[in-house]
Amino acid sequence: MSLWDQALRGTTLVRPNVLLGLSGLVVSNNHNNNNNHHSNKQQQRQQQQQHGLVISSCSSTFVAEAVAVAAILARGVDRSGRVGRRGPGKKLAVQAAAARTAAAADAAAAVAAAAIKSSPPAAVLEERRYNTWDGESYTFQELRRWGDRVNWSEAELEEHWRLRCTALVFPDGDAGSTAPQVEAWRKVWTFRSMTHMLTEKDAARVHAISGAAYTLLGAAYLLDTAVHDIAALYGVEWQRHVSHEAALAAMLLGALNAASGLQPKLLARPSEDLPKVLGFGENGNLKSGGFLNASVFYFILTYQGLRALPSFPTFLVMDTVVGAVSIAAVLHQAFLLNAWVTKGSMHRVDALLVPAMFNLPVSVHLLLQGQAWVEQLASQYPSFPEVFFTANFALAWSLSMVTFALSLYERRVISIEVRGMLMLGLPMLVFAVIPLHGAVLGMDMATMLTLVSATASSSEGKRSPYLMLLLLRVCC
């Protein structure tokens, strides 16, 4: 136990004149502080710091005096006041000295307690905490300067330090000291290098290169289209910078990316057969099944977008096959989502909405009507081929970006929070291009939703009842 701790407990043997002199000094300082009670806070804090320095400078004197008094008590005091080993007044002198030192120790304890109460310990002053009000970290002294700006009292400042300033976490290494909130924020927005997306299983890096080129060129086309349409709505002329041919080139790059993603080494383990790769069976690979489903849907959307163009070759018309495959792909996607629910990785509500089912109107029209449906819409709306091409291009690109976000998360390049933002935000942002482009080119909104021309609906008296029943059946 240190001498300072003993002084606080009233057990240290210290010469009375030193303690009383120190007490007088402290009382005098306190008296001066009371007279200057209405002075500014900075002066009070300087006095408290000086007060603490006085106490610290006298601590070495306490040690020396305690040693001296201990020597006196050990050797004894004679009647003449001289120190000796066997003085006749030894017993009385010891009792008197003990009484005086006990009283002085009590006074020293009170003085020291007051000093410690008025001045926080050095450990407290050097501690750094996270201020939840402004997101910065402070020591207590720095927080005092922060509190001066709002004219806080000492009590308010201490309450804020105790209740609203959280302790810091000190990780190992060079990470330094960070608050839990800051650490959690960093985990969300920390990105690893994109080199983690490269793998030796990708032959000649064709999947990575084609994906990067398709992403950039497709984003440029969609952005150019959106800016052109907004300018047209406000009566401002905008020169298109990305041509229709560039969009066709982007589609080819996307097809190459989707096809190269089906490489056996990238898609599944060597021991897995085709049913497991598709996600079927008890131990089916749901991840590879989902990627394969997305790749198939990319080709479906690409075909549908090109199908409405007047320049589409007639020998490539495969409406019946593509329509049947698209319906099978919707059912496969519903199966995969329910399998994720069974594994506990997805909530039942999330699996109720199958995104691919929104492609059912196009698939059903191509399956049942084919070329007649395309010609009917093109005759009534001359801009239908361009709007339909842009809509399918936007859907295919957003599908590719959702798949890319999943791949980034699987390689631990992004966090799960960023993955969710990308999967939700990008499709919503890209989908806005479709009605915007249709509004500029004069497409009827009801026709865009049902893909049934107004002439056909008026002659029949209703809009595709079989289509509405099919959609209701899928939703239920």
Q: Which two tokens stand for residue 338?
A: 């329910």
Does the residue 132 lie in any domain?
Answer: yes
Strand partners, 137: 130
Structural domain includes residue 194: no
Q: 329 and 464 share a domain?
A: yes
Q: What are phi and psi of 444, to 5 degrees?
A: -75, 135
The fraction of the chain above a pLDDT of 70, given in percent, is 61
- Name the pTM for this structure: 0.59
Output the pLDDT for position 353: 61
The answer, yes or no, to whether residue 357 has pLDDT greater than 60, is: yes
Same domain, 297 and 369: yes
Residue 255 within any structural domain of the chain: yes
Task: Tell me which of 102 and 432 has the higher pLDDT.
Answer: 432
Does residue 18 carry a pLDDT above 90? Answer: no
What's the rounded mean pLDDT across residues 376-391? 90
Same-domain pairing of 324 and 424: yes
- Domain-ending residue, one of 166, 188, 210: 188
Asked whether residue 378 is assigned to any structural domain, the reply reads yes
Residue 428, pLDDT > 80, answer yes
Range from 58-62, 174-178, 183-187, 218-222 carrying the lowest mean pLDDT: 58-62
Mean pLDDT across the chain: 72
pLDDT digits over 441-458, tens only?
887 777 776 777 655 544
Location of structure tokens 């500014």: 40
Question: Which has the higher per-residue pLDDT, 6 or 197?
Answer: 197
Q: How much is the average pLDDT of 76-99?
A: 49
Residue 422 lies in a domain: yes
Q: Tell me which residue of 100, 117, 110 sits closest to 22, measured CA to CA.
A: 110
3-state secondary structure of 190: coil
Question: Are residues 179 and 49 part of one domain?
Answer: no
- The pLDDT confidence band at residue 213, using thresholds 50, 70 and 90, is very high
Q: Among 14-23, 112-121, 274-283, 459-468, where is mean pLDDT lowest?
A: 14-23
CA distances from 160 to 150, 153, 296 (A): 13, 11, 59
Q: What is the mean pLDDT of residues 321-348?
A: 83
Region 386-393: mean pLDDT is 93
Residue 195 lies in a domain: no
Containing structural domain, residue 151: 125-188
Specify whether 139 is located in the same domain as 284.
no
Query: Quick one: pLDDT band at residue 232, thresholds 50, 70, 90?
Result: very high
- Produce one character per residue of 28-55: b if its CB has 16 or more CB atoms within 10 Å, e if not: ebeeebeeeeeeeeeeeeebbeebbeeb
Band of the pLDDT at 85, cuts 50, 70, 90?
A: very low
Give the tens place of pLDDT for each residue, 126-135: 688 878 777 7
Does 306 share its domain with 406?
A: yes
- Same domain? For 46 and 182 the reply is no
The last residue of a domain, from among 119, 139, 159: 119
Distance CA 433, CA 441 (A): 12
Among candidate residues 77, 103, 119, the one where a domain is terminated: 119
- Does any domain span residue 197? no
Q: Are residues 11 and 149 in the same domain?
A: no
DSSP annotation string for 368-432:
HTTHHHHHHHHHH-TTHHHHHHHHHHHHHHHHHHHHHHHHHHHTTSS-HHHHHHHHHHHHHHHHT
Q: Which helix (H) or strand (E) holds 168?
A: none
Evaluate whether 198 touches 208 at the Cβ level (below 8 Å): yes
Would you say residue 193 lies in a domain? no
Per-residue pLDDT at 206 exceeds 60: yes
Count of domains forming the chain: 3
240 with 288, same domain: the answer is: yes
Same domain, residue pair 239 and 278: yes
Residues 138 and 75 reside in one and the same domain: no
Sequential DSSP letters for 426-466: HHHHHHTHHHHHHHHTT--HHHHHH---HHHHHHHTSS-HH
pLDDT band at 285; cut points 50, 70, 90:
confident
Residues 6+ apart with CB under 8 A from 207: 257, 260, 261, 263, 266
Q: Same domain for 296 and 258?
A: yes
